[in-house]
Amino acid sequence: MSDSRIIVALDFSSERQALDLVVMLDPALCRVKVGKELFTAAGPQLIAKLMALGFEVFLDLKFHDIPSTVANACKVAAGMGVWMMNVHALGGRRMLSAAREAVPAGSAKLIAVTLLTSMERSDLSDIGLEQDPKEVVARLAWLARDCGLDGVVCSALEAQSLRKTMGAGFCLVTPGIRPANAALNEQKRVTTPREAIENGADYLVIGRPITQAEDPISMLRRLNDETRGIGHKTGTRK
């Protein structure tokens, strides 16, 4: 089991691309994330292959459906042996509670997506939510915790306030991380690994800085060095 904070996002369109990358990594230095694109292309068989290589898998499918359907999907994911999975908090209390019942606490980690990081206030207004995105995120995070989930996915910019309100035992997983001095590509609001952890993040989802690096394992070691031993400003390292 890895004690690294880093989850490598395998944002590929084929199993071959994903496996070509992970054989260059070390499961002691990271976990891996499989999202909708790769899972649609490669299916559960890829999850088994990644686990056989020693990697703990975060299955990022954001289940969002009627409670019984989500519960059954979560049960199947847990049976595959994934380390972490997520659901969408906008599915509501009954759906979140059904997911928690399907995945007993202490087995696979069960976290919730609050708002997609692409959503702005105008997007919320379009669907009838007349609140600031930060207020919606906070409300959905409280709902996830109240339903017994282990944590939420949030931006590093939201992590600090959520850590203060949710406490040390609530897991915060943050995407949008770029190493210090790395190219930003199209990203405008980014956070370094150190900043994200100091703000309260437990795990960092990092894609292209690792997957498109000339030497992925060297970049992974560098990122682990940058994050090792850092505590939250609002508390100590878990």
Please indicate, yes or no, if residue 234 is contained in any of the structural domains: no
- What's the total number of domains in the chain? 1
pLDDT (tens, 9 = 90+) of the chain, 238 residues, equals: 788 999 999 999 999 999 999 999 999 999 999 999 999 999 999 999 999 999 999 999 999 999 999 999 999 999 999 999 999 999 999 999 999 999 988 899 999 998 766 656 676 666 666 667 678 789 999 999 999 999 999 988 889 999 999 998 999 999 988 776 655 444 444 578 988 999 999 999 999 999 999 999 999 999 999 888 766 765 444 4
Please indicate, yes or no, if residue 236 is contained in any of the structural domains: no
| 103 closest CA partner among 45, 65, 147, 64 | 147
* 122 exposure class (CB count in 10 Å sphere: 0-12, 13-18, 19+): exposed
Give the list of residues 6+ apart from residue 54 with CB closer than 8 angstroms, or none: 27, 28
Please indicate, yes or no, if residue 71 is contained in any of the structural domains: yes
For residue 185, the model assigns a pLDDT of 45
Q: Which residue of the set 33, 36, 49, 62 is catalytic? A: 62
Please indicate, yes or no, if residue 1 is contained in any of the structural domains: no
Please indicate, yes or no, if residue 22 is contained in any of the structural domains: yes
Contact 53, 22 (CB under 8 A): yes
Concerning whether 62 is annotated as a catalytic residue, the answer is yes
For residue 126, the model assigns a pLDDT of 65
Please indicate, yes or no, if residue 232 is contained in any of the structural domains: no
Backbone phi and psi for residue 181, each to the nearest 5 degrees, phi listed first: 75, 5
Query: In one letter, which amino acid is 15?
Result: E
Largest CA distance in the chain: 47
For residue 26, the model assigns a pLDDT of 97
For residue 158, the model assigns a pLDDT of 87
The parent domain of residue 49 ranges over 6-226
- What's the CA gap between 82 and 50, in Å, rounded? 10
Q: Looking at residue 177, which CATH number applies to its domain?
A: 3.20.20.70
Please indicate, yes or no, if residue 145 is contained in any of the structural domains: yes
Please indicate, yes or no, if residue 205 is contained in any of the structural domains: yes
